[in-house]
Chains A and B, each alone.
Chain A
Amino acid sequence: MGLGDLIFLIPMFPLAGFLLSGLAGGALGRRGVSLASCGLPVLSFLLAVGVVSRIAGSGATIEQDLGRWISAGLLEARFVLRADRLSAAMLLVVAGVGTLIHIYSTGYMRHDRGYARYFAFLNLFLGSMLLLVMAGDLLLMFAGWEMVGLCSYLLIGFWYEKDANARAGMKAFVFNRIGDLGFLVGIFLTYYAFGTFDSARIREIACTGGVTDPVTGLFRAVPADLSLVPLICLCLFVGATGKSAQIPLFVWLPDAMAGPTPVSALIHAATMVTAGIYMMARLSFLYAMTPEVMAVVATVGAATALLGAIAALTQTDIKKALACSTISQLGYMVLGCGAGAFSASIFHLVTHSFFKAALFLCAGLAIHALGGMQDMPGMGGLRRRMPWTYGAAAISALALAGIPPLSGFFSKDAILVGTLGRVMSDGPSPGDPGGFLAILYAGLYIAGTACEALTAFYAVRWVALVFLGEDRSAPATGMEAGGAVAVSVGAGASVARGSYEHGEGAGKEPATMLAPAVALAFLAAIGSTLAMIPAGGGLTGFLAGAVAGPVGGAAEPSAGANYFAAAASAAMACLGALAAWFVYIRRGHVPASVPAGGLRAVSFRLFHFDAVYDAAGAAVLRLARGLCLAVDRILLDGLLVREAFGGGARRLGEILRRTQTGTVNAYAALMVFGAILILVCLVLAPGGGP
């Protein structure tokens, strides 16, 4: 019974917590629920640490086969959990950040009526996410993928009494569903091409053209249809755009802020939304085979990064601003995947989960202190009342902004260096005589670097509006601001939820809430060391075997390119931060809760994607309705049922009913007639006759 036989407990602990809180929440009481639902993730985390230290030591993959899962004809899927270096990194993040946010939630949800329900869902989420991360094959990963989607839906609509919240949950679910369809088709195509769901075997087949038996060491060639790989990668990427909020499916994420703030921190910033990036990194060897698809991925990522950053510039809801930032940062990660810098993407995923979770937790503390207010123009001056929160938020925001030497700078820089590397390696080639890819990646690099300035700008703006300046939440203005919020956030986050006690003055930051925020901010600050400390090249080196390396055998970018990129990003970040400092701190500008119009409104409304989708969706539905009506009313109901079918059957029935006279002699006569008929039929048969 070694550690390898116990890894199934990592997802099982939170799932047990789900059952415990979900079924016996009332009997346990609040204390019991808190203990169970925080204690079990801690156990998962400790086990994960054990697993990671084992993997880091030996480099081996730990695998546990829990038996047959699905079997139908030739298709067989086994319930395999696997921990390699990639999933190890994710395990630590998910279990670690997850545990911290569970602890934070005990404070944040203290007065909520649905305390047990909340923790049941949160535990279910954690278990599902760990399952997703440890899944040994794509089907199991899809199961986890769907389960986290379900939890996201349940938790966004947690305060379902409010119509807007329920609708936000639905929207997230529907948009995720579109992506999931792509993912599912991708999985089927993968099975079609490789004949297996197991990601390790897919990798082996894709890279070596066959399978090596682990016992005998014999190599067996497996014919695989590699021409399908670009299509597979595209389909899988569609899945990633849904889950990881990329263009064009990103619109659900800002609305998802309707859920409780810890949920936004855990699900919609740190873990679930990064599942798409994790999936692409897991299958990075497939992506590495198709430079064209990678170019698409990178383009979408860079565009999303820019779009999110521009949208974040004008948001006035404290959580929506962070949500737009999340979209933007996820865009960076996707850009990294598209540039072949998978390990850099995972690095950024890790640091982002630290600083973005910390920012959300600080936002939660601020909202708590202000009795449910989420409108940033109505805040301000919280620095004096909650110094610890301010400190944590400031450090995390600077990390987000990419100010060296905080972690965000290093991880983002790694992605941009990877992109720059593609520019240098992708010269004119036989497949690409014009050097088109090199030009494209150069453009993407410039966009990414410019986006750094925007990132720094909105990060500093966020801190300034919430924590610096005058306290604008005085009762008189508070009313106004509250009214404005009601207008501004519409379908999204809401103001008063009644889940926390009003008037629980700021400054009394509960330790259960403050400690996780500070811990995450600390991690955000020192996360940069991940790039350096572990022997053998930091996190990138740690992941080297687990994800595909630079594409097309491109050399590592030269030291000169490295320094150039680092200097450029640092300069852009400082530029953006300075600009924001000038506007929002020096001059104390306070934006209106809803921008009046013009370009600001375009940014505030996320480029009107929602309105377009609404109109298009409505048009499609109207068309479908008309078609269905025509087919149903005229063809089916009218022609088939009333005339041809129903009428005929009814008339036939009427005639036949008359033969049923009820007199038994008539029955006997028909029987004899039938018997004679049978005999005649036999006698008249060809070649027959007695």
Chain B
Amino acid sequence: MDWNGLAHIGPAIVLMLGGAVVAFLGMILRREEGHILPLASLTIVGISAAMLAAAWPGSAWIMPLDAGGAVTSPGMAGAVIRKAFPSDGLAAWASATVLFAAAISLLAAAGSRLHSDKPGEYHALVLLTAAGMLLLSRSGDLLTLLLSLELVSLSTYALCASHRPDPRSGESAMKYFIAGSLGTALLVFGMALFYGATGSLSLAARPLQESYRGLLACGSGLMLAGFLFKAGAAPFHQWVPDVYEGAPTPVTILMAAGIKAAAFAVLARVVVTTLPSSAGPWDSSWAAVLWTSSMLTILVGNAVALRQSSVKRMLAYSGIAHTGYLLIALVGTPGGAESPGRAVAGMLYYLFVYGAAAAGAFGVVSLIRRGGRELETFEDFAGLGRERPAIALCMALFMLSLTGFPPLAGFFAKFAIFRDALARGETALVVTGVLASVVSAAYYLRVIMCMYGSQRRSATHRQSGAAPAVCAGASRPGEISGAMGQTGSAGAATGSAPGAGSGSRPEGDAAASAVQMPLSPAPGGTGAAAGGGRTAGDHASGPDEALDRDAPECSWAAELAIIIPAAAVVVFGVFPGLLGDLISRM
């Protein structure tokens, strides 16, 4: 038995076994011992990462696949595995990104309270999804590709539905399931045509006869549609905002950072190995399909993101936009095993950097809560710069990196992709991409402006007393002192104490806080408090309660889920050389 080949898929195997262990643990552990699960899951991800590092591939960037038929010599299990799961730089870097995303997702989940009913299942599913993504990123033939893709999809459907108290969670799972089934159907149909034309499961297979080329092209085209769906590219993008928004935020992290990386890895493999052999005379039309999809994705993602009022939804659209930038890397990438290394390296760098920034931004959304809810609208972010300066700084870094602001990593990622595309002559795409980046600054910077620029609500607005929400705002003393802006952080700190802990915000709570109002040192605050006291019972919702301070005991985990990506965004921007062979190839 040749065990060498197992090293290639060892990380995935560890994740699967670990998933089983975690599921079992979830059954036997008592509720109080729940914190063991995240620790165990993180350990398993760590072991997997260590195995990945140990089996880091050498020089091959995209391994040329063997176009021939089955492995004939018996007892060559290792060879079979190596053929089905090529180990190359593309797979390794995509896997690293996936594991990073899984770790951040687990940390964010540990810091939030969503997996309260069946934590074992949740963690097992995350690990299985990660395993599927690792396998997906290194699938070399149709069978392993389909299986790993389905492993990812099915686990994710379940994960999306895991937050049962929120109806949006179930809705997003259902939408994802229906749309995803259609996507898989396209893919499987495409694979059937592909197999019919080539008689081989290998991605590098050649048509059996020259006249089958058209059949092969149709098969590849439908497969491409399936992959574009997974990556969230136009016109297969519409599930993205609904699913990203409805899913529990840690799951969104896993999807945005992890699945995107795996999907792009397999897409790159198909574009580089399959399309050239199948296309023949259709070379240019492949490029045209990718070109159109990329252009559409950039335009749709950025334009619609401009119009969003929910930050989470804005981030989802921004994810679509970044899919468009990533597709640029694949447009016009020439076939063959060596030459596309540069473009693919740029794409992988982009995937990692985007994954870190998106994971961190979604992490901020899941960590910070007002009144028991995640921050949703832009207004919810107002004043965050004063209330949680470190978190706000991290969020600002994510936004700037996503915009592509030097010297953060996002800038160099965009630069690498645009530079290579220019070298290939894709001027129109690059111009669109750059202009779209400028437009994207409008919605990214809006978050920063909300966090730092605007008061939670202006004093004059409050004094007018016109909107009922104003009164609710006055019912939180921390709000007043913060919004007055003159009392400084000390006032905000002391003032927010009574307002904290009101997770469910009973009606009486507002009145109780209003009584404590004179504590607030700002004279304007007392005046507003009087107004607030009068109408305190009228209204008890709105985006204006104090930040929740009674975070779960594991909130440090969620903070890590923000700080680690922030550090990554800064460090890999300032010292890109730390990414080793990835950078050296760009």
Contact = CB atoms under 8 A, between A and B. Distances in A.
Interface of A: 645-646, 649-650, 652-654, 656-657, 659-660, 662, 664, 666-668, 670-675, 677-679, 681-690
Contact of B222 (A646, A668, A675): A675
A645 B235 contact: no
25 contacts: A649-B439, A652-B299, A660-B238, A660-B241, A664-B174, A664-B179, A667-B179, A668-B182, A671-B183, A671-B236, A672-B182, A674-B234, A674-B235, A675-B225, A678-B221, A681-B288, A681-B292, A682-B218, A682-B282, A684-B285, A685-B282, A685-B284, A686-B281, A686-B284, A690-B217
A654 B300 CA distance: 10
Q: State the 8 A-B residue pairs at the shortest beta-carbon distance, nearest first.
A: A690-B214, A674-B235, A685-B285, A653-B303, A652-B303, A667-B238, A687-B281, A653-B307
A671 B281 contact: no
A631 to B, nearest CB: 16
A677 B238 CA distance: 17
A668 B235 CA distance: 10
A652 B304 CA distance: 8
Residue picked from A656, A662, A672, A673, most chain B C-beta under 10 Å:
A656
B239 interface: yes
B242 A662 contact: yes
Given A664-B178, A688-B281, A677 B303 contact: no
Given A670-B236, A682-B285, 16 more contacts: A649-B303, A653-B304, A653-B306, A653-B307, A654-B307, A656-B303, A660-B304, A664-B179, A671-B182, A671-B183, A674-B236, A681-B292, A685-B284, A688-B214, A688-B217, A689-B214
A681 B288 CA distance: 8
B431 to A, nearest CB: 13
A645 B434 CA distance: 12
A671 B229 contact: yes
A689 B216 CA distance: 11
Contacts of B175: 664, 667
Contacts of B302: 649, 653
Nearest to A653: B303
Contacts of B292: 681
B224 interface: yes
Nearest to A650: B306
A50 to B, nearest CB: 40
B215 interface: yes
A524 to B, nearest CB: 50
B466 interface: no
A565 to B, nearest CB: 58
A231 to B, nearest CB: 32
Contacts of B306: 649-650, 653
B438 interface: yes
A645 B435 contact: yes
Interface residues of B, number: 44
Nearest to B235: A674
B186 interface: yes
Contacts of A650: 303, 306-307
A668 to B, nearest CB: 5
B186 A675 contact: yes
B442 interface: yes
B225 A678 contact: yes
B307 A657 contact: yes
B439 A645 contact: yes
B289 interface: yes
A652 B178 CA distance: 28
B285 A681 contact: yes
Residue picked from A672, A674, A689, most chain B C-beta under 10 Å:
A674
Interface in B302-321: 302-307
A608 to B, nearest CB: 43
A671 B175 CA distance: 13
A682 B179 contact: no
A170 B215 CA distance: 74
A671 B176 CA distance: 13
Residue picked from B234, B284, B306, most chain A C-beta under 10 Å:
B306
B178 A656 contact: no
Contacts of A686: 281, 284
Contacts of B221: 675, 678-679, 681-682
B235 A646 contact: no
B289 A681 contact: yes
Contacts of A657: 304, 307
Contacts of A664: 174-175, 178-179, 239
Contacts of B281: 685-688
A673 B234 CA distance: 11
A657 B305 CA distance: 9
A671 B224 CA distance: 12
A592 B146 CA distance: 96
B214 to A, nearest CB: 3
A289 B228 CA distance: 67
A291 B439 CA distance: 57
Contacts of B225: 671, 674-675, 678
A673 B228 CA distance: 14
A678 B221 CA distance: 6
Contacts of B217: 682, 688, 690
A657 B282 CA distance: 34
Nearest to A676: B225
Nearest to B296: A674
A7 B431 CA distance: 55
B285 A688 contact: yes
Contact of A678 (B179, B224, B307): B224
B179 A671 contact: yes
A654 to B, nearest CB: 6
Interface string B63-93: 0000000000000000000000000000000
Given A673-B235, A677-B235, A681-B288, A656 B304 contact: yes
Nearest to B211: A690
A253 B384 CA distance: 47
Interface string B18-55: 00000000000000000000000000000000000000
Contacts of A652: 299, 303
B430 to A, nearest CB: 17
B238 A678 contact: no
B218 A668 contact: no
Contacts of A670: 235-236, 238
A528 B289 CA distance: 85
A338 B442 CA distance: 57
Nearest to A662: B242
A354 B518 CA distance: 69
Contacts of A645: 435, 438-439
Interface in B184-241: 186, 214-215, 217-218, 221-222, 224-225, 228-229, 234-236, 238-239, 241
A442 B344 CA distance: 70
Contacts of A688: 214, 217, 281-282, 285
Contacts of B178: 664, 668
Nearest to A668: B182
Contacts of B438: 645
Interface string B163-185: 00000000000110011001100
A19 B183 CA distance: 63
Contacts of A685: 281-282, 284-285
A78 B173 CA distance: 59
Interface string B270-312: 0000000000011011101100100000011011111100000
Residue picked from B214, B215, B234, B241, most chain A C-beta under 10 Å:
B214
B435 to A, nearest CB: 7
Contact of A682 (B186, B242, B289): B289
Contacts of A677: 235
Contacts of A656: 299-300, 303-304
A652 B321 CA distance: 14
Residue picked from A659, A670, A690, most chain B C-beta under 10 Å:
A690
Contacts of B299: 652, 656
A677 to B, nearest CB: 7
Nearest to B299: A652
